[in-house]
Structure 1
Amino acid sequence: MLPQQVKVSDITDENSAQTYLNQAIMTTFCRVLDSSRLSPDVVMRLLATAVGATYREVATAHQDGQCPCGWRPVPDADIEALRSSLEDAAAPKIADDLHSMVIAGRA
């Protein structure tokens, strides 16, 4: 069964935001892959470049501290956090991780 689509109006917390972004990125990836002659690894690299460019644009807009959100970019730490998040999400999941196990029944 496919997971239920999350709409922008459904975003209420970090988890629902993550689900929405996962779906949007997968949809974009599939569309680019389907409409181009590019290989999956090239499209993945383009996605990573897009994330980096998005970071750079948002960080530049926040450099002067004029945004009311209060975020101040720290490029070295921020880029390391992005790299770590990518690595954690892309690494194979360990089979004994309870979050990745399929429910076999009930107690």
Structure 2
Amino acid sequence: MVSDISQGKKTVEKYKRFFYSLPIVGERTEQQLILLAKAGLKEEIRDGLETEEFATLEALFEDAEEVGEGLKETPPSIPGKRRRTSPDHRSSKRARRAEKKGDPEDEGYGYPGEG
């Protein structure tokens, strides 16, 4: 089984092989190819690229591979399955409820034996 981290790199490598196999590669300038290749990357990888401009097509693919590896290190969120968090970033309702109720050892909450 291939690890998740290498899976992101493999996705970019697969796209790179596909891209280099296109007949247009011999017909365009390096900068045109860079723009075309970048446009064909997955949006999440394209958004993670360190720069907008690359000197070579190979530099673009190397950066894209690094982004792909980084994306696989953190599991993607599943839409609709997100945990709701409060403004203080607590995901647990119990934690928020306990905060509202207060500590029974604190004064002023009307707990039995207080006084």
TM > 0.5 fold call: no
What TM-score do the two structures reach when normalised by structure 1? Answer: 0.35
| Structure whose residues are more often helix by fraction | 1
What TM-score do the two structures reach when normalised by structure 2? Answer: 0.33
Larger RCO: 1 or 2 (CA < 8 Å, sep 6+): 2
Larger Rg: 2
